[in-house]
Chain A
């Protein structure tokens, strides 16, 4: 019984460390996991995109 528990614990830990893949839904308040342990924070990305577009607009005026 103890061996089974240990085995289950190890498997669960491996699953958590390896991460998982979920489908992107585009909610700005919810980070999206694209690949194992690669998380895209949509809000952070939007701030970056806004900064780049501001830079283009300011330089182009």
Chain B
């Protein structure tokens, strides 16, 4: 009797240990739009058209870490890139903190955003592959 109770407890613990992490997977979001996140999103919206224009001119590209890079073809690009990357970092950090992803989570968040930016890039814009090579999207 005691033995079967003991075995049942072990099985129950094992099932809980396997099920609990998968229940919490896949629920990532900005759970709270803090003033800093709100400001970062509004800043990004405000500069979106200008940034797109620089991308189409080949002056700015999307790197493989979820940030934009100044490709040295337009003097306006540097300031735009710094501001955009500052706002992106605020959003990424909020995702990591609010979803308790830890320091290793930032790398994953950056990689996923970089992938989304590559997907969304228009033909002719510069993108950096996961391996680090720059190319124009076809």
Q: A interface vs B, CB < 8 Å?
A: 2, 6, 9-10, 12-13, 16-17, 19, 24, 26, 31-35, 37-46, 48-50, 52-53, 55-57, 59-61
Flag if B45 contacts A59 (CB, 8 Å): yes
Flag if B108 contacts A19 (CB, 8 Å): no
Q: Does B102 contact A (CB under 8 A)?
A: yes
Known: A26-B111, A55-B45. 14 other contacts (CB 8 A): A2-B3, A16-B18, A32-B108, A38-B21, A38-B100, A40-B105, A40-B108, A49-B109, A50-B116, A53-B120, A59-B42, A60-B44, A60-B45, A61-B48
B interface, by DSSP: helix, strand, loop or mixed?
helix
Residues of A contacting B25 in the complex (Cβ-Cβ under 8 angstroms): 31, 39-41, 44
Report how many A-B pairs have Cβ atoms within 8 Å: 110
Residues of A contacting B91 in the complex (Cβ-Cβ under 8 angstroms): 52
Q: Does B78 contact A (CB under 8 A)?
A: no
